[in-house]
Structure 1
Amino acid sequence: MLETRRLLLRPMTWADRPELCAILQDRETMYAYEHAFSEEEVDEWIARQLRRYETDGFGLWAAVERNTGRLVGQIGLTLQDWAGQQVPEIGYLLNRRFWGLGYATEGAMACKAYAFDALDLDAVYSIIRDNNLPSQAVARRNGMRPVGRLVKHYYHMDMPHTVWMALKRGE
């Protein structure tokens, strides 16, 4: 679907499940979620992305290294609730073996360009947990700035998040 210098962002499939399990079931990778996913939660995650492709025309995509074909993570656009509306969020979640290599930033920038150019959206967001400093750095490198806060209740706890935004016209 989208190509960058090093990545191909394509719809994930059930065949990606083993690589997605390596991400979603790794407690260290999933620290912002406060738990590693169960088998059932992984299946629900994949099914949710497949539904998003059908209903929204986008979702989190499998991020694959172009030169090796290895799945490094998932990067894409999803609709999220904020301030009483559904907003397009750029999200990224990588296998920790690929952290620090610039893949999240590269993919997030491609998603922003896609949102503005192909989807003609006026703004994109990233909703990032307050303790997730690496993801906040990706948002900053993607030209986003903090515009608000929210608390998500997930896995029996309140989790403060910062809402980041970039406008199409850079305003």
Structure 2
Amino acid sequence: MLEKVVLELEWEPAAAKTEELEEGLALYQVKLERGISEETLTGNGIVYITDRPDAVRERAGKDACILLFLTEGNRSGDWKDIPYAVESLEGLDGDFLEKVYQRHIGEPWEILETERLLVREMAEGDLEALYRIYDQADAGDFLDRLSADREEERAYMKSYIEKAYPFFGFGIWMLVEKECGRCVGRAGFCRREGFAYPELGFIVAKKEQRKGYCLEACTALLEYGFRELEFEGIQALVVEGNRASEEICRRLGGHLAENICWKGKKCLRFVWEAGQPLSSVDVMGARKL
């Protein structure tokens, strides 16, 4: 959990900006400190906002959590190991900086909640749950199949968590039943080569189907995609004959845009456009899906 934010800059930011940041952090019970001191270096949960990452690491250690403040002097540096950068203090708050810290320590972000589900990022501990979820014949229609080698899959999962989520700002997430904490499926967005719109993908474990989880999660995800991610449109591909997935897309208000052939598979392509009213789904009445 984030406890404090340390400003370590080569220049003095405007007082109004630091006061705004301090007030924003206070809402999340996070302290703001200016400059690194011996007291600063004690404790955990620290994010350093700095334009001098090497100097901070020299004092705070190579594992310090850094939010890079970009300037003309450091912009050309090689900062590939720092996933987040800003050019201003404006708009920074405890929620964003908490997420920066979570990413640093490998803790999955919580994306949203529905009545029964928590949608969160994948974690390395989800490996066995993934194999349980994908244990069905059509699991690899449009979401990548899992490797038969668990260690190979573990390495892929680690890379996906570290690279895909930060780079795109979205991905395929885990669906977790809030009542018991069990992973019941996956859903989220991906980019498919050759298409302009990001794609909605979903899968629910066999034993958890016919409970309405997929419809419940995807209803919330479509709203999230347009509101938070500012997508102009979203698509979904469904293999012809997959009646359950087709019905879900239709009940979500998807427009059947075209019939296409994708890598030898005859598919239906459903589309949702920004500004289009999404279907009001009675989730509790959709148990059979």
If the length of structure 2 is used for normalisation, what is the TM-score? 0.52
1:86-165 matches, within 5 Å, as 86-153=196-263, 158-165=264-271
Please identify the structure whose Cα radius of gyration is greater.
2
Tell me the percent identity: 26
The one-letter code sitting in structure 2 at the alignment partner of 1:46 is M
Number of the residue aligned with 1:168: 274
Aligned pairs, how many? 163
Give the drift of 1:37.
Answer: 4.0
Contact 1:32–1:131 at 8 Å: present in 2 too?
no
Contact 2:174–2:186 at 8 Å: present in 1 too?
yes
What whole-Å deviation, never above 9, does each CA across 1:119-143 have from its counterpart, x for those lacking one? 1222111111112111111111111
Distance of aligned partners of 1:143 and 1:8 in 2 relative to their CA distance in 1, 3 Å threshold: same
Distance of aligned partners of 1:43 and 1:85 in 2 relative to their CA distance in 1, 3 Å threshold: same
Secondary structure in 2 aligned to 1:87?
coil
Number of the residue aligned with 1:38: 147
Contact 1:23–1:29 at 8 Å: present in 2 too?
no
User: RMSD across aligned C-alpha pairs, in angstroms?
Assistant: 2.3
Number of the residue aligned with 1:58: 170
Please give the alpha-carbon distance, in whole angstroms, between the structure 2 residues aligned to 1:38 and 1:110. Answer: 30
Please give the alpha-carbon distance, in whole angstroms, between the structure 2 residues aligned to 1:101 and 1:79. Answer: 28
Give the drift of 1:117.
Answer: 0.7
- Unaligned segments of structure 2, at least 5 residues: 1-110, 278-289
Give the drift of 1:164.
Answer: 0.3
Secondary structure in 1 aligned to 2:175?
strand
- Unaligned segments of structure 1, at least 5 residues: none
Query: Which has the larger strand fraction?
Result: 1
Give the drift of 1:89.
Answer: 1.0
